[in-house]
Amino acid sequence: MHRCFKEVLLSDGPAADRADKLALYGRFIGSWGMTSVIHPDAGGQQKGPDGEIHFAWTLEGKAIQDVWVLPQIFYGTTLRIYDPGIDAWHILWSDPMRQVYTRQIGRAEDDDIVQIGDDGKGTRLRWRFTEITPKSFHWIGERAAGAENDWRKQIEMFAHRAGD
């Protein structure tokens, strides 16, 4: 049996043995448009470019892979894998355009999803999905170089389901 790459990568839905846990990110499956706001280190904020996000079931429904495109800012992919041993998600982000690679752990916190990790250079990262509805979500990227809770916004994205 010889299948093509897309056939072995993509899945029709979540793996049955963990479908309930996979729903945390599974609700994002599909295509999204987004607007962005950049928060420069010098302060203030500026409108960023519009972009797109695409989420899909992968690896026999045991993972979710997504592609985030924000022209001239990043073009990357996330692999999200639920780990029953820690009841959390391993989040692996790769952006070959900027050569940025991060590893985080993601969990539900009340109505939000919070991912904590680092950039591999000593800067802690927190990426959050907030204000989640079936048709929209607010994504916030933050970093902290100093104190434990000294989080500073880098970028915000306001996503809406494609076609809505």
Structure letter (DSSP) for residue 162: T
The domain spans of the chain are 13-161
Domain with residues 13-161, CATH architecture: Beta Barrel (2.40)
Q: Rounded to the nearest 5 degrees, what angle is found at the Cα of 83, between the Cα atoms of 127 and 62?
A: 95
Give the per-residue pLDDT at 120. Answer: 80
pLDDT of residue 2: 82
State the pLDDT at residue 52.
97
- Which among 55, 62, 61, 54 has a CA at the least distance from the CA of 11? 61
Place of tokens 């009340």: 110
- Could you please report the per-residue DSSP string of 63-119? EEEEEEEETTTEEEEEEEEEETTTTEEEEEEEETTTTEEEEEEEEEETTEEEEEEE-
Residue-by-residue pLDDT tens, the chain, 164 positions: 688 888 889 999 999 999 999 999 999 999 999 999 999 887 889 999 999 999 999 999 999 999 999 998 899 999 999 999 999 999 999 999 888 899 999 999 999 999 999 888 888 999 999 999 999 999 999 998 666 678 999 999 999 999 76
The structure's pTM equals 0.92
- Amino acid 149: pLDDT: 74
